[in-house]
Chains A and B, each alone.
Chain A
Amino acid sequence: MKIELPQVGESVTEGVIGRWLKNVGDKVEKYDPLVEVITDKVNMELPSPVEGVLREIIANEGDTVPMGGLIADIETKESENSPINSDTYSNLQEENIGTTGVLIKDAAPVGPTGSGGPISQDKPQPDPSIKDRPKSRYSPAVLRLAEENNIDLEQVVGTGINGRITRKDVTAFIESKPNTLESQTIVKETAASTPRQDQEKITLSPIRRMIAANMVKSATLIPQAWSEVAVDVTGMVLRRESIKESFMAKEGINITYLPFVVKAVAESLKKNPLLNSSWSEEGIILKKNINIGIAVAAPDGLVVPVIHNADLFSIAGLAGVMENLITKAKNGKLDLSEVQSGTFTLNNTGALGSVSSRPLVNHPQSAIMTTEAIVKRPIIAADAIAIRSMMNICLSFDHRVMDGAEASAFSMSVKNLLENINSETQIY
């Protein structure tokens, strides 16, 4: 039975084959994990739809396969029995052959001496050469551009089918490096003066490739503007401190600042729907649900689990949902539904120590916000110097969808909501 890559989500069109969890010749039970599949939304283990023996791996690790594309061949009990056995053959001989004859599928070819070889079911072996398939060839246009501009194509990220490098990829690469010629010469000179190996290449994992392609999409398709707002979060810090222990005792989870921020973001998105939308040439599509993606650094790379309808949760509810999602993300156990349909992305870069960052909008969303590290700073409040807990929030947005006015209205709303958190703020 030919195994196809199943349709795993309405907006997902292709997947990259990750590690095969079964080898050719292995016995496979129904629902056994067969292979890892990486899509632009999620990584998953594909369960075998049937019981049988893995006869052939058609799509190898790193291959991009469209939904519905063939990935493997599993020999099932039914297919083992399908060739006409001698019983049915003899029945046919007696009853049904007629003048047109029948095609006997399991007969061996007859050699020149009239003898046939032993009857055997040829198991097609995977072509060993497929494994180390050569790198895809470059088109004439790509080669010419690379030569004219002195570009090492190994450094260009391909966005074409199967990661092919297109003419556009090369021109984008040239534009991103205005001084290619100059830097190239410098590299050459240093290389000449220092004969030792001065660089090393890390092979791109499928997920690295996917992230790269998404980032190129964001950087090339979306004209992004950026702004930063300083927020006095002293009230939030105190409120969290006051409930930390009781929350842990009652709910069994640690309450972080993130649920407070998500709550404020969800409220602000409601008031500023343009931040919760997508650009299209026909018009701006406002999203009715507020589904906030949270960027999480998982061991293999960035993943963005989504809190669906974030505006409907209390701060405690958000804490629970997020604990669950982030744990799953770090263990690579997210379901597709848990990474789909995000309408806005939040990135807690402060956890990494950053105090200011410029995030890239998660295409096709229209905005992304970061929360930076909370730092105590002396500030002037009511003509006196006070020590307050300060946090920057940074917003990148699609300038086609909105202008600075709308973006700032959103940032200021988040700021005000966070600054108004006090000992009375409801957690449940």
Chain B
Amino acid sequence: MPVITVLEAIRDAMREEMRKDERVFVMGEDIGARGGVFLATDGFLSEFGEERVIDTPLAESSIAGIALGSAMSGLRPIAEIEFADFIWPTINQIVGEASKVRYGTEGKLQAPMVLRAPQGGGVRGALYHSQSVEALFAHTPGLKVVTPSTPYDAKGLLKASIRDDDPVIFLEHKRTYRLVKGEVPEEEYTIPIGKADIKKSGDDLSIITYGLMVHHCLEAAQLAASKNISVEVLDLRTVRPLDVESIIGTVEKTGKVLIVYEDNQALGIGSEVSALISEHAFEYLDAPVVRLGGPEVPAMPFSPPLENMFMIDTEKISTAINKLAEY
């Protein structure tokens, strides 16, 4: 199987879907002539032309609004927000409108749109190029929120998102773009939205995580193995809807759970996962459910040492694993 990066997987997914389905088009800032700020749409303008590769003004609210309108009219837009940090002007269009289209029209209308955005820190991007935005969108029923970690997952999930009949917020961790490589089959496949994946099997404790953190967790799990601690790593892949069955499954297996996420810890995805566990798997718990998430700080600091303190890394995860294993 060819080995490609997350970025290449995303580019391939969009290109294949656009070749297959004329209704699919891309729009966003600098995605045409420039090929996107991360080159996710490199070469698209020459292949698909200006009607299907639309450079927009710097107006995120309009990007989301136009995408929503065209989706309701029967097209399948993939709108790119250059950085998730600039996604906030779309809240009215996405949370206020797109999420409610199907429900509000008793299913007469639907909004099959994808809003792609690179997010996450650890790239020396400071306040406005490091944010994680999944929890704010995941709070809203009617939306789907996807957070892939590997090229294989990114491609399969993006294709599923484009074909999905509801609005999908597709959040790509920009640090994984070129950092994470993996095998991706040449033949056609999709991955169902809402299915978690056991990235490593183990039986002493479970880590539930998603996005970039999957890779730090796998590293930490490797380190733990040398201390005879067997760690299972469950990659949620989709944070809305959550794969409750897989979450409960791993808890029943190990009884100890560490939830790792880069986004703010309080009221984050891990808070919901923790609550689900205590509701559905209480009798299987062998230790308190532990969250390891971002600190109570409004934004990524500019100073590199402070950014290192802010980010969850392999060492912090290892410390949490050891503590939980000891319990």
Contacts and interface: CB of A to CB of B under 8 A. Distances in A.
Given A221-B228, A281-B225, A141 B283 contact: yes
A164 B204 CA distance: 15
Contacts of B286: 139-142, 166-167
A139 B255 contact: yes
A281 B226 contact: yes
A142 B283 CA distance: 9
Contacts of A164: 327
Contacts of B284: 140-141, 144
B327 A280 contact: no
Interface residues on B, range: 10 to 19
Interface string B201-218: 000100000000000000
A141 B226 contact: no
B326 interface: yes
B287 A139 contact: yes
A267 to B, nearest CB: 32
Interface string A280-312: 111000000000000000000000000000000
A122 B326 CA distance: 37
Contacts of B255: 139, 141, 167
A281 B255 CA distance: 24
A168 interface: yes
The dominant DSSP class at the A interface is helix
A282 B327 contact: no
A139 B287 CA distance: 7
A160 interface: yes
B232 to A, nearest CB: 14
Contacts of A167: 254-256, 286
Interface in B284-307: 284-287
B282 interface: yes
A142 B284 CA distance: 8
Contacts of B326: 160-161
A90 B284 CA distance: 63
A369 B127 CA distance: 62
Interface of B: 204, 225-226, 228, 254-256, 282-287, 326-327
12 contacts: A139-B255, A139-B285, A140-B283, A140-B284, A140-B285, A161-B327, A167-B254, A280-B226, A281-B225, A281-B226, A281-B228, A282-B226
- Which 7 residue pairs across A and B have the least CB separation, nearest first? A167-B286, A141-B286, A141-B255, A281-B226, A167-B255, A139-B286, A140-B283
